[in-house]
Amino acid sequence: MYNFAVAFYSRTGTTRDVVQRMADRLDCPLIDIADVVSRAGFWGDIRCVFDNLFWRRVPYRASGPDVADCNTLVVMAPVWIGHLAAPMRAFLEDHRAFQGNLAVMAARGGYLSAEDIAMAAGR
Ligand X SMILES: Cc1cc2nc3c(=O)[nH]c(=O)nc-3n(C[C@H](O)[C@H](O)[C@H](O)COP(=O)(O)O)c2cc1C
Interaction site with ligand X (CB under 6 A): 10-16, 45, 48-49, 78-82, 108, 111
Residue 49 or 103: the one with the smaller Cβ distance to ligand X is 49
* Least distance CB 12 / ligand X (angstroms): 3
- CA dist 68 and 32 (Å) reads 15
Bridge-based pairing state of the strands 70-76 and 2-9: parallel
Residue 61 or 96: the one with the smaller Cβ distance to ligand X is 61
* Least distance CB 97 / ligand X (angstroms): 27
- The C-alpha angle with vertex 59 and arms to 15 and 73, in degrees rounded to 5, equals 45
- The C-alpha angle with vertex 67 and arms to 65 and 73, in degrees rounded to 5, equals 105
* Least distance CB 78 / ligand X (angstroms): 3
Residue 16 or 100: the one with the smaller Cβ distance to ligand X is 16
